[in-house]
Structure 1
Amino acid sequence: MTPRQLLESLIAIPSLTPGDAGCLDILENLLQQNNFKTQILETNNLRSLYATHGTEHPNICFSGHVDVVPPGPLEAWHTDPFQLIESDGNIYGRGTADMKSGVAAMTIAAINYVSQNPNHPGTVSLLFTSDEEDSSRFGTPYCLDQIHPKLTAALVGEPTSINHLGDEFKVGRRGSLNGILTFTGKQGHTAYAHLALNPIHQVLPFLTELSQIIWDNGHGPFPPTTLQIANLNSGVGTFNVTPGELKVQFNVRNNPASPHEKVIQTVEELLHKHNLHPAVTWDDSAQGFLTENQHLQTTLSQAIQKHTSQIPKPSTSGGTSDARFFALNNIPVIEFGPINATIHAANESIPSADLDPLTSIYQTFLRNYLENPNS
């Protein structure tokens, strides 16, 4: 089976998050046919697939997810989002970039490698989950608790390339912290504002100062920490009623120079400065990480350069991914995959010419990592 044929089968399945809708059955059957041992790991009615070939150390794992975000309005698509269509040099379909191309390429790369090297050193493993686009609670973190012995290292096939296949790969991610502040005032008539207490007016100076904080100037390969106010909810929807409550939701993307504890302390001190006493809820949604394993990075970089004209840039930009769970388990992890320009958008696509070299990059990486463990 070619990467294109496997991708076509996966795209045809509307595996809307959370769930695999049968994608994992296709992958499991294919891997079993090629002498991989497979295991379905299930919790909370969500399935993941773990497959291995070999039993020795080191165990290098290809990882990804088969769930996809909804396509949105179908009229915004030029093609059927659940049919792989080639047009104008691109292949279209929901999940082509994020991340069924990565899953297909990693699967075929692993199969090709073990078929050519049946007595290869180490262990080739694959871990595919089905809730990455949802809570991520019942996929990778659950599976890593079940997998024994522990993985040696991992490559997550998230779409990391920006303009050309191979121009970037991820060596880390910023953390993510959500905050909800609920301010209580007193609802009233706008004509009798002196009898009411408008929480919006009370909070505006605080919000202005909060939005202008310079948290840090970056940290190593990480960009500066940022805070974005995402939602302001207040009022009853008419012009003549002052609100009785204001809810502020914000998100922080932080690097190691501004850990979550520092951010929380800064926000609480600013609230005290402005004599504000809201109900506060914090959601520590993702811890940041940085992989400094040079063997992993060099092996991937050399594979990319062999199959493309790119000299890849290690990066920590972008949002969170399941790679953080490997890092939390002290498993060195990097991320590499196709161009991410259309992820989660209508007409999601990747260049048609990128799928085969992506597969070759994964296969070369796998061979060099296992056969040159100390280089």
Structure 2
Amino acid sequence: MTQTTDPVALTADLIKCPSVTPEEGGAISLLADLLDGVGFECSRVDRGGIANLYARWGTKAHPKTFGFNGHTDVVPVGDRKAWSVDPFGAEQKDGWLYGRGATDMKSGVAAFAAAAIDFVRNTPPDGSIVLAITGDEEGIATDGTIALLDWMDQQGEAMSACLVGEPTCPDHIGEMMKIGRRGSMTAYFTVTGTQGHSAYPHRALNPVPVMARLVDQLSTHVLDEGTDHFDASTLVVTTIDTGNPANNVIPAEVRATVNIRFNDAHSSGSLTEWLQGVADTLAAQTGAKINMTTQVSGESFLTPPGPLSDLVAKAVQTETNRMPVLSTSGGTSDARFVKDHCPVVEFGLVGKTMHQVDERVEMAQIHQLKAIYTRILQDYFA
């Protein structure tokens, strides 16, 4: 008799777990118990106070191992009074399931877990299936998927292909899949001059005009015109601060932050070198001291169109009658870590309400996503 696992019920159970990063909230334990009960070998890979789960059905490092990566942690709910429902109540209304994480991405985790469970129960494949689930995607992400990949390397575990189940579709399920992501880095600048009285500017070195010149040079520079699979890189000035409450004092210091989203024409290293060069030149011209530090969230990457993207696109088209656009748009995801391990693409639901008040997902879409993931498994192991 064919057995089926309800992905909507599983999504609801996960929403009821208040797993705001870095809290596990019961979500990882729930999945571990469920998967262990149907023959998955489950390992907790906790690190740095973060709960992670590695679940494998089949033999270790089988040459045909399909993996799924996702996260159960969620962003804070914000003002609870602004919600029309309990953020962790998993309330169902008019065909929608409400709750923090409903879209990003407990529905994706539930859909793939349900697809995998039913697949190994009813048509055990010649190969292995892996679920690598983290509790640290919405946080600083140093002890989440990275910890799982480190542990896999130590244990001789491997995936031959991986799908990340983040929301990828703008308006309708099936519209878009991700075959790469832009890199992301932030640069923090501090310009130091000499404090003085605004009536005697010649006795001071005002860092504010220096910073104005710096951010103007950076923000007006054209990084590139885009590449074959990526839009043009962007640099955005996100803040300029002096902390100066007086209107007659030239401050000694001013700070600014810029964020860069870059394509495969650059690396964080090449961009850091450019930023430092601009700062050094301006410092030499003005006599001000310019200090810069950087934080890199991830490098740009691309999984070239090929067998994996074809596999996913075919399944999506079969189940939705839409051929997904191959995109590299959006922010970062844990695919930026997985890409160093094996080929990886991303496909998931419509992401319109993620991180919003009254986050919600159409329940019919969760069933549809499970059907897509099931077809991917069927075709991969055919």
TM superposition score normalised by structure 1: 0.95
CA contact (8 A) 1:94 1:348 kept: yes
Residue correspondence of structure 1 range 176-191 to structure 2 within 5 A = 176-191=184-199
* Structure 1 unaligned spans of 5+: none
- In structure 2, the residue matched to 1:34 is 38
2:133 aligned with 1:128:
yes
Secondary structure at the aligned position of 2:211 is classed as helix
- Residue type of the alignment partner of 2:135: S
- In structure 1, the residue matched to 2:219 is 211
- Residue type of the alignment partner of 2:187: G
2:226 aligned with 1:221:
no
Deviates more, 1:197-206 or 1:210-219: 197-206
Please list every run of at least 4 consecutive aligned residues from structure 1 whose deviation after the TM superposition is greater than 4 angstroms. Answer: none
CA contact (8 A) 2:12 2:97 kept: no
CA contact (8 A) 1:90 1:349 kept: yes
CA contact (8 A) 2:22 2:49 kept: no
Residue 368 of structure 1 deviates from its aligned partner by 0.7
Which of 14, 20, 43 pairs up with 1:16?
20
- Residue type of the alignment partner of 2:376: F
CA contact (8 A) 1:235 1:242 kept: no
Tell me the alpha carbon deviations over residues 97-123 of structure 1, each in whole angstroms, 9 at most, x when there is no partner.
Answer: 1110001101001001111112x1110
Q: How many residues align?
A: 369
Which of 298, 318, 327 pairs up with 2:330?
318
CA contact (8 A) 2:183 2:299 kept: yes
* Structure 2 unaligned spans of 5+: none
Residue 293 of structure 1 deviates from its aligned partner by 5.4
Tell me, in whole angstroms, the C-alpha distance in 1 between the residues paired with 2:332 and 2:86: 28
CA contact (8 A) 1:233 1:247 kept: yes
- Residue type of the alignment partner of 1:135: I
Secondary structure at the aligned position of 2:339 is classed as helix
- In structure 1, the residue matched to 2:201 is 193
TM superposition score normalised by structure 2: 0.93
Tell me the alpha carbon deviations over residues 187-215 of structure 1, each in whole angstroms, 9 at most, x when there is no partner.
Answer: 23333333332211222122112111111
Tell me the alpha carbon deviations over residues 118-177 of structure 1, each in whole angstroms, 9 at most, x when there is no partner.
Answer: 2x1110110100011111111111111211232111001101111001100110001111
CA RMSD of aligned residues (A): 1.5
Tell me, in whole angstroms, the C-alpha distance in 2 between the residues paired with 1:136 and 1:235: 31
Which of 305, 308, 313 pairs up with 1:301?
313
Secondary structure at the aligned position of 1:283 is classed as strand
Percent of counterpart pairs with the same letter? 38
Tell me, in whole angstroms, the C-alpha distance in 2 between the residues paired with 1:109 and 1:263: 42
Tell me, in whole angstroms, the C-alpha distance in 2 between the residues paired with 1:24 and 1:277: 49
Secondary structure at the aligned position of 1:43 is classed as coil
Tell me the alpha carbon deviations over residues 266-325 of structure 1, each in whole angstroms, 9 at most, x when there is no partner.
Answer: 222322443354111122221111012511111111111111132111100001111111
Residue 10 of structure 1 deviates from its aligned partner by 0.7
Residue correspondence of structure 1 range 106-121 to structure 2 within 5 A = 106-118=112-124, 120-121=125-126
Tell me, in whole angstroms, the C-alpha distance in 2 between the residues paired with 1:19 and 1:337: 24
Tell me, in whole angstroms, the C-alpha distance in 2 between the residues paired with 1:206 and 1:225: 19
